[in-house]
Structure 1
Amino acid sequence: MAEQSVFAPGTERGDLVPGVSTIEGSITDALVLKNGNLFFVSQSDASVPLARGHGFGLYYQDCRFLNGYELTISGRKPEVLIHTAEAGFMATLGLSNPDLNFDGHVVPKHAVEMRWERVVSADELTLSDTLLVRNLTTEPVEFSLEFRFEAAFEDIFAIRGLFEGKRGTCHKPEWRGDTLYFRYAGADKLDRVLAIQFEPSPNEKLAKGAGYRIQLDARGLHETKVTLKVSTSERPDCAFPSPAEHASQKAGGLRRWFENTAEVHSSSRILSRVMDRSLRDLGLLRSTLDGGAGYFAAGVPWFVALFGRDSIITALQTLAYDCSIAEQTIRLLARYQGTKLNGYREEEPGKILHELRVGEMARLGEIPHTPYYGTVDATPLWLVLVGKHSVWTGETRLFEELRPQIDAALNWMEQYGDVDRDGYVEYSCKIEKGLANQGWKDSGDGIVNADGSLAEPPIALVEVQGYVYEAKIEMAKLFRRCGEVERAAELERSAQTLREHF
């Protein structure tokens, strides 16, 4: 069993890509905040280690903008008493001080209460921290607060140890007024900037941080605001949010997640809480692409991207609650459907993608995920989603609009999916750095024979044949509804043949 406190490449194993290692560890105790495409993963005390060799940080578009963020009080880490991140985009922590001695000023343990509130905004691309410190004693206290940061602007594939790519230039951090700027000129010709604004003005402006000298009267209060804003030359920096805008982010963030979702009411408080938390977690995974089209990402932190299989299955399982994201997912995947033979990306005409990345390495063409098509099940599952969406909405609109893509997907199953013409859809990895296994169990040793030996390609997975069968049945229903009886009968016969052969 993995250590619960570890989230670093301490030990490595080569299971995702042949000959390439991947990070092993647990984020069981991590605080995870996400809003749209911006997400932040921290330790349970809300910090990100300044040392290298971990996966915590602030991420946007497959780049870790921030890889170190530590708060100390008179040089010591505060003690965490309680924390919650139930809302998904916001966290609140209750902390307290250890025994302190600041320039001869002794502050006993737990004399200072610290309330740390953190909000992630998708609209502003900000991580907004508000730190309220309160003197709980009847005597004045004096101490310091130090904020320290690291920003290396690493591609997510480099962090995971999967690939090594070209690097651009990290410029020396610089202060402009009360804002500290970290800037990276990418090898992909894209500038990435992390701007950190402090309010009030810090007493000490450090090379990679800031310091405050705090003096509190008996029962006194002090508030510090730290706002981290990411930007790129594709989406230039804009003004920091005002306090009123910051408050509206908190009020509106969760509401936007639920505005199109069916309500669930139950006499069971347990069931109601489970459903509420489940929908909140799904809201956490909602991401956007191509100007706002929504989809469910596969998971934080490594898989915040459009994945064919994962995004489709989640959209299928949530049709009863929100049909709109299923439609957006269908359209997104149709937009990136394969149109030609491309061995590097394992692209084939009609094939639905496995994974789409937009980071520096993808933009440079150093990885095939632009998109990468190494999946055997996304194409039939996409057809199933089209069919089930029609069942839930009662419409054939999408089917009619996407007929060329649907015909191409059906043809892929027959022409490219079943290369050896044995009646089953199978796969074999075509590139050295591709996925050896291309179903839901995609680790290198995920598919074994009855005797325990590794299965050799081509491999026909049992569940994929079920997806193909259901895809043909769902498409037959839609063809019949649209008056194409002969095409419907042809698909039904093909599905029945597969069933009997199986």
Structure 2
Amino acid sequence: MDDAYSTQVTAADTNDQDGLETLMALKDGDTFLVADHWGDVKAGADGLFDKDTRLLSRFALTVGRARPSRLSSGVTKDNVFFTCHSTNRPLPPMGGRSAPAGVLHLERRRFIWDRRLFERVRMVNHGVEDILLPLTFEFDADFADIFQVRGTVRPQQGEIHPPVIDGRRVTFSYTGLDGVKRTSCLAFSEPPARLSATRAEFMFSLPRGRSLDLFVECGLDACDQPDEERWRWHSILARLAMRRRLRRGAIVEGGRNQGFNDWLRQSRADIALLVTDLPTGPYPYAGTPWFSTPFGRDGIITAWQMLWIDPGLAKGVLTYLAARQATETNAFMDSAPGKIMHETRGGEMSVLGEVPFGLYYGGVDTTCLFIALAGAYAKRTNDYETIRALWPNLIAAAGWMKDYGDSNGDGLIDYARAADTGLSNQGWKDSEDSIFHADGRFPKGPIALLEVQGYAFAAWKALAEMGAVLGDGRADEWANRAETLRALVEERYWMEDEGFYAIALDGDGEQCQAIGSNAGHLLFTGLPSHERARRVTRRMLTAEFRSGWGLRTLAKGQARFNPMSYHNGSVWPHDTALAAAGMARYGERHAVAMLLGEIYGSAAHFQMRLPELFCGFVRETGEPPIAYPVACLPQAWAAGSVFLMMQAVLGLNIDAAEGLVEVNNPALPAGLDRLSITRLKVGDGVIDLHFQRLNGHVVVMPRERSGTVNLRATG
């Protein structure tokens, strides 16, 4: 039954390197696995990780001393199971006879649940004779911190203890320099013929036409009794079947366009995969493999992308970040009172302070975004019970903006890292070479990024709106701050001769006049005048930015432009989505529909799963977009991009206090003539909407409706 949901990756099995460029990821909570297309873990970037520690660094299957020949493999569309189908190469002679290639079907099927890896290896003999089947697992556990896996060299590390072998189990353990003993245990449902610290060898007698199952578990801490594996597999499968049916929020479907529906479903499944239910509520981890942890900026933007569909995600993000708001100034952590965290890690190196990311605050934009998201959440839900609970945190965040965010008193939010161990650039484009002058020079600090001023404008405005509802006498002051900041940005960042905004101001107040996608984020916040927004939109839709697969982060022809770079000419789906939503805010619909179509085209080439980023080369007829080699996949804000762009292209806004859904001049991308939204919750009401293209226009019709919710359609 599950095979009907599979996304298969099929390739000619020519050599052992086939399929290794894209790792297969599974995740549950803080535990995730990345492996190759055979399901093998062979060190490098792959492994079984929990709380930023690799607890299984090798786990490879061979049949008759050879890797089996892969037929197909993939992760199910709901991201619950990985399955690899393979067959044997010629088996070595056993008793004078050898089995030919292609008579044995092997299915490796696995999932992660409750901090454990569960795998079933099913072997079926389709030959005309009985088979003696030699099967071997090679394994190891290096307990590497994720920063070691990423390449950081440690001068010292703790002690790896000799593995303990017990019948069908091998237990690995490591005592770190932090004094914490970490263990993992590998257990088999059948007794191996030989079991060592790194190898389990089996010899199965498999009659013709018969099948045999081997169950394997890798648990953190101690293993259960080996004879329980079969029962546990089937018991947990039942619970997984219930989990895969769970859906949060509204459902969006694209009529009869199966490809678009596949993209919507895959994106929703990727969000579900990356969301972890924490004590404070659901939180979208940023991405696998490197960023499977809460990030402030990523969590906020992902929650904002999903806000109209599933506002509960924003509530979880806001509550989690409020609980980790800084209360002291610490240079190593880049913290100051009221600041919202950038990143948190749980590995040994973070605990010991070898890296600053145990709880790190080096993001200049996250605090502003925290307040702005709270305002958007309040409007979407009218949940002022939550806003009241968060109000002290929101006031503290505003205090950081006023007292710490503006280091030189010029009215702009800026940054300069407080310690050499921190990030040198602290906006979303945080690579070392992402902010520069028009001639390529790097600016002196402190740096005031363009988009951060937009976030700050949105924050002051949101604080004023929430304060007015709560009866806070400072609401007018906050509204005035927003308008003062608007005027300051328009005066100091606008380049009339370019018809565009500078990406930043340096420490001398000089414009960094590179032309970048940062201006698209400014549109998203609603800061620019309509005339300037129109000019920015027009330029962003030229070939300078448009690759044909989405918008580049840096305009073609700028100093440091490189379509293969991380931030200087690549395409990030979330960046394109924010710019598109910004254009839509100023009334643009058809160009947004065009950009949505381009991003959909990109998704189709990436098997409907958008990566973190891809190269910004121009689209060529008949050629796919060019992948960025180490992009995270899946990535939360890449997966959320389609939903923000759908909201933008439909001109859809929700005001829960008024019980109102507004649809203003909706459009649809080419090839999509119908779209439905079901179970859209607004206050105490629920409404279903149907969009359809008629006579060259897109119209919206309400379907089912309950409670107090109204639709207002214009355009």
TM-score, normalization: structure 1?
A: 0.89
Relative to structure 1, is the Cα distance of residues 249 and 321 closer, same or farther in structure 2, using a 3 angstrom cutoff? Answer: farther
The letter for the 2-side match of 1:246 is: W
Mapped partners of 1:254, 1:221: distance in 2? 24
| Amino acid of the structure 2 residue aligned with 1:88 | N
CA distance in 2 between partners of 1:64 and 1:407 (Å): 39
What is the distance in 2 between the residues matched to 1:255 and 1:391? 33
SS at 1:264's partner residue? strand
**Distance (Å, rounded) in 1 between the aligned partners of 2:319 and 2:259:** 36
Structure 2 CA distance for aligned equivalents of residues 237 and 131 of structure 1: 19
The reply on whether 1:489 has 2:476 as its aligned counterpart is yes
Per the alignment, in what secondary structure is the counterpart of residue 64 of structure 1? strand
In structure 2, C-alpha distance between the alignment counterparts of 1:263 and 1:255, rounded to whole Å: 18
Paired with 1:410 and 1:380, the residues of 2 have a C-alpha distance of 8
Name the CA shift for 1:239/1:186 in 2 (closer, same or farther; >3 Å).
farther
Q: Take 1:223 and 1:237, find their aligned partners in 2: how far apart are those partners?
A: 19
- Distance apart, 1:247 and its partner CA: 2.9
Equivalent position of 1:274 in the other structure:
263
- CA distance in structure 1 between the aligned counterparts of 2:182 and 2:90, rounded to whole angstroms: 40
Identical amino acids, percent of aligned pairs: 33
Query: Is residue 405 of structure 1 aligned with residue 403 of structure 2?
Result: no
Shift of 1:36: 1.5
Q: Is the 8 A contact 1:386 1:398 kept in 2?
A: no
- Would you say 1:120 and 2:112 are equivalent positions? yes
Structure 2 CA distance for partners of 1:345 and 1:254, relative to 1, 3 Å: farther
AA matched with 1:48: V
User: What code does the residue aligned with 1:95 have?
Assistant: S
Runs of 4+ with >6 A deviation? 236-241
Alignment of 1:152-167 (within 5 A): 152-162=142-152, 164=154, 166-167=156-157
CA gap 1:166/1:238 in 2 versus in 1, 3 angstroms? farther
Distance in 2, Cα, partners of 1:208 & 1:188: 26
Alignment of 1:39-188 (within 5 A): 39-49=32-42, 54-86=44-76, 87-103=78-94, 104-121=96-113, 123=114, 125-162=115-152, 164=154, 166-188=156-178
- Aligned equivalents of 1:254 and 1:382: distance in 2? 35
2:310 maps to a residue whose letter is D
Q: Comparing 103-112 with 434-443, which one deviates more in the overlay? A: 103-112
Counterpart CA distance in 1 for 2:153 and 2:477 is 45
Rate the CA distance shift 1:260–1:242 in 2: closer, same or farther, 3 A: farther
Instruction: Give the conservation status (yes or no) of the 8 Å contact 1:435–1:442.
Output: yes
Shift of 1:255: 4.5
Give the Cα separation in 2 of the matches to 1:396 and 1:157: 40
In structure 2, the gaps of 5 or more residues are 1-10, 12-18, 490-715
405 and 177 in structure 1: CA distance in 2 versus 1, 3 angstrom threshold: same
Partner of 2:367: 379
Matched, 1:286 2:275: yes
Match of 1:223 in 2: 213
Match in the other structure for 1:14: none
Matched, 1:33 2:33: no
Asked if 1:467 is matched to 2:458, the reply is no
Match for residue 354 of structure 1 among 315, 321, 342: 342
Task: Report the Cα offset of residue 248 of structure 1.
Answer: 4.3
- Judged with a 3 Å threshold, the aligned counterparts in structure 2 of structure 1 residues 463 and 248 are, in CA distance, closer, same or farther, namely farther
| Amino acid of the structure 2 residue aligned with 1:108 | P
- List gaps (5 residues or longer) in structure 1: 6-25
User: So what's the TM-score if we normalise by structure 2?
Assistant: 0.63
**Correspondence for 2:318 among 322, 327, 330:** 330
Higher relative contact order (CA 8 A, sep 6+): 1
2:416 is aligned with 1:428:
yes
Cα 1:208–1:27 change in 2 (3 A) is closer
How many residues are paired up?
467
Q: Indicate the larger mover: 318-327 or 422-431.
A: 318-327
1:29-76 per-position Cα deviation (integer Å, ceiling 9, x unaligned): 211111111110001111112xx5x11100000101111111000100
Give the Å deviation of 1:253.
3.4
Q: Distance in 2 between matches of 1:42 and 1:458?
A: 42
**Residue number in structure 2 paired with 1:246:** 233
**Deviation readout 1:167-208 (Å, 9 max, x if unpaired):** 221111121231111111222122211111111112221231
1:501 maps onto 2:491 in alignment: no
Equivalent residue number for residue 12 of structure 1: none
Aligned-pair Cα RMSD in Å? 2.0
Q: Which of 164, 174, 179 is residue 189 of structure 1 equivalent to?
A: 179
